Amino acid sequence: MDIQQINGTAPSVSQLLSNSRYGLDYYQREYNWKEAQVGSLVDDLTDRFRSEFDPAHERPDVESYRPYFLGPIVTVQRGGVRYLVDGQQRITTLSLLLIYLRHELADTHSDELSSLDSLIFSTRYGRKTFNLDVEERDRCMMAILNGEDYDPDGQPASVQNIWRRYGTVRARFPDDLQGQALAYFSDWLQDRVMFVDIVAPSQDMALEIFETMNDRGLRLSSTDMLKSFLLSEVRDEATIDGLNTRWRHRVTELTDFEENADAEFVKAWLRGNYAQTQRQRKSKASPGDFEIIGTAFHKWVRDNAASVGLSRPDDFRRFVEHEFMGLSSRYLELLHARWEPPEGFEAVYYNACAGFTLQLPVILAAVTPDDDNDTFRDKAALIAGAIEIYFVRRMVNYRNFGYSTVVYTMFNLLKNLRNQPTEDVRPGPCRMARQRRRTTRRAPATPAHQTQPLAHPLHPRPDHSLARPTTGQHGQLQRLLRRDRPQAPLRSGAHLGRPLRPAHRRLRPP
């Protein structure tokens, strides 16, 4: 077969999806991206847009913004239908993001919705067909498009995942890109985000290209590249062999438990223990340590080796042997607690059920590799419990508790808790005593913040479980909880357990 028949182009999202319909073979129809991958894609896109956007710009200025490449896709024409051989995870996620933008722009830019509609679905003979034409997804995708409720229970796993990941898009999209910036972001996403479209002349050639790109190790993961850098600096061959064996075994343990858990651990570890800066909430602000670690942690470690304390071979050995191995073991315990919590770790489980992923870097910030089991459990339980109360208080006050809303608060908290001894995190008895005194007073109309805390909607235990004291020696957790004390009782008939968005319908952690 003549390989010159393979064509490659670089279409924008608009050019690739406008009034287009792609088929998927039965063996490629599963959508299995997890919260981490979807969140990473949303973060990457919004971070790049922020680096170009200025409120003083006019919308036509978006045309001069730097393009952002979302990588290659592989397509093939067969039987009058264009099939997507590689790229459906990204295209499906992109479709969910486009639907989200459509909903958010409906009130302020209703005259522009048709351009978004043409990227999400096409209409033939009065029937809407989504850009990825998979029949089992239609009802779910239509409910998301129309803003309707949908019960994913009993549906195929891929359909359930699509419903949950739309909730991830909603929760992860940053608040500072709402308002004026949102229309600019929509323009940029449609016209300046690009793919490399590899069009194969036959199905066999398309599959060969797909397998070559995905199965032959052409691209190392960020975790692999971090390992290569760290071990290369150890210099002693025998030590390197031993560390490499232990590293590979630990990565296998992590990924066997949860896909991509190795990369998520490294992000949580480095953010919790070493990140010093975060992107400022203003236009054209540069990414800070927190954001760079989230997208390219292997490069961040290489560029910041001195500030991390890596200069001599023994520093690199200790970084792997002591910190990586020690804290990854604790991270594995936290992952298990997200599914089957041991006694004292219930708050870790409930935070995970609510999709609150930021608890893990905060816990790892306070934990050290030298902590014994009791110390680790005390710190994890105290911090997860405080975050649980903070989360519920935002919920009962009808305040947003999505990722982008609380990420700055969590970053400041983890910096203050970093490597603190248990005594500085452990609560004292004073707050519990104050709460007991308050409940014994009789008053005609007691403000909500002076009554017993409300029970967690996902945790049907007695109210006193949320009344545990939270004041530490330096008051870090106390300051967190002061932010969102309930200011008024819940409105009559309000139900904490009612789902606020698709992401919170799940009863199991992501």
DSSP secondary structure, 46-97, as one string: HHHHHTT--TT--GGGGGGSPPEEEEEEEEEEETTEEEEEE-HHHHHHHHHH
Q: What angle do CA 23, 25, 26 make, to 5 degrees?
A: 125
CB 490 within 8 A of CB 427: no
Confidence of residue 479 (pLDDT cuts 50, 70, 90): low
* Residue, of 63 and 470, whose pLDDT is higher: 63
- Please give the pLDDT value at position 220: 62
CB 20 within 8 A of CB 130: no
Distance, CA of 211 to CA of 215 (rounded, Å): 5
Of the candidates 379, 381, 361, the one whose C-alpha atom is nearest the C-alpha of residue 370 is 379
Q: What angle do CA 473, 475, 478 make, to 5 degrees?
A: 135
Q: Is 149 exposed, middle or buried (0-12, 13-18, 19+ CB in 10 A)?
A: exposed
Of the candidates 109, 118, 108, 150, the one whose C-alpha atom is nearest the C-alpha of residue 16 is 118
Of the candidates 271, 288, 272, 304, the one whose C-alpha atom is nearest the C-alpha of residue 50 is 288
Residue 419 pairs with which residues in a beta bridge?
Answer: none
Residue 261 has pLDDT above 70, yes or no: yes
**Which runs of consecutive H residues, i.e. helices, occur in 216-288?**
222-232, 237-257, 261-273
Which secondary-structure segment (H or E) carries 327?
Answer: helix 325-339
Q: In the numeric block, which tokens belong to residue 56? A: 């003083």
CB 137 within 8 A of CB 130: yes
pTM over 0.85: no
SS3 121: strand
**Which runs of consecutive H residues, i.e. helices, occur in 346-421?**
346-353, 359-366, 373-396, 403-417
**Which runs of consecutive H residues, i.e. helices, occur in 128-202?**
138-146, 157-172, 180-191
C-alpha distances out from residue 53 to 174, 190, 193, 283, 509, Å: 14, 15, 14, 6, 35
The amino acid that residue 489 corresponds to is: P
The amino acid that residue 19 corresponds to is: N
CB 23 within 8 A of CB 157: no
Distance, CA of 113 to CA of 105 (rounded, Å): 8
How much of the chain exceeds pLDDT 70, in percent?
79
- Please give the pLDDT value at position 127: 76
Distance, CA of 81 to CA of 124 (rounded, Å): 14
Q: What angle do CA 319, 323, 328 make, to 5 degrees?
A: 130
CB 333 within 8 A of CB 367: no
- Please give the pLDDT value at position 211: 65
Summarize the confidence of residues 258-285 as an average pLDDT.
90
Lowest-pLDDT choice from 172-176, 199-203, 495-499: 495-499
How much of the chain exceeds pLDDT 90, in percent?
46
Residue 462 has pLDDT above 60, yes or no: no
The tens digit of pLDDT for each residue in 285-294 reads 788 999 999 9
CB 191 within 8 A of CB 62: yes
Residue 73 pairs with which residues in a beta bridge?
Answer: 197
The amino acid that residue 355 corresponds to is: G
The amino acid that residue 26 corresponds to is: Y
The tens digit of pLDDT for each residue in 377-402 reads 999 999 999 999 988 888 888 887 77
81-86 vs 22-23, strand pairing mode: parallel
Confidence of residue 295 (pLDDT cuts 50, 70, 90): confident
Confidence of residue 189 (pLDDT cuts 50, 70, 90): very high
The tens digit of pLDDT for each residue in 63-105 reads 999 999 998 888 888 777 888 888 889 999 999 999 999 999 9
Residue 7 pairs with which residues in a beta bridge?
Answer: 199
Residue 484 has pLDDT above 60, yes or no: no
Rg (the chain; Cα; Å): 25
- Please give the pLDDT value at position 103: 95
Residue 505 has pLDDT above 50, yes or no: no
- Please give the pLDDT value at position 400: 78
Q: Sketch the domain layout of the chain as residue ranges.
A: 3-215
Of the candidates 166, 158, 151, the one whose C-alpha atom is nearest the C-alpha of residue 507 is 151
C-alpha distances out from residue 316 to 226, 252, 320, Å: 11, 21, 6
In sequence order, the 6+-apart residues with CB closer than 8 A to the CB of 114 are: none
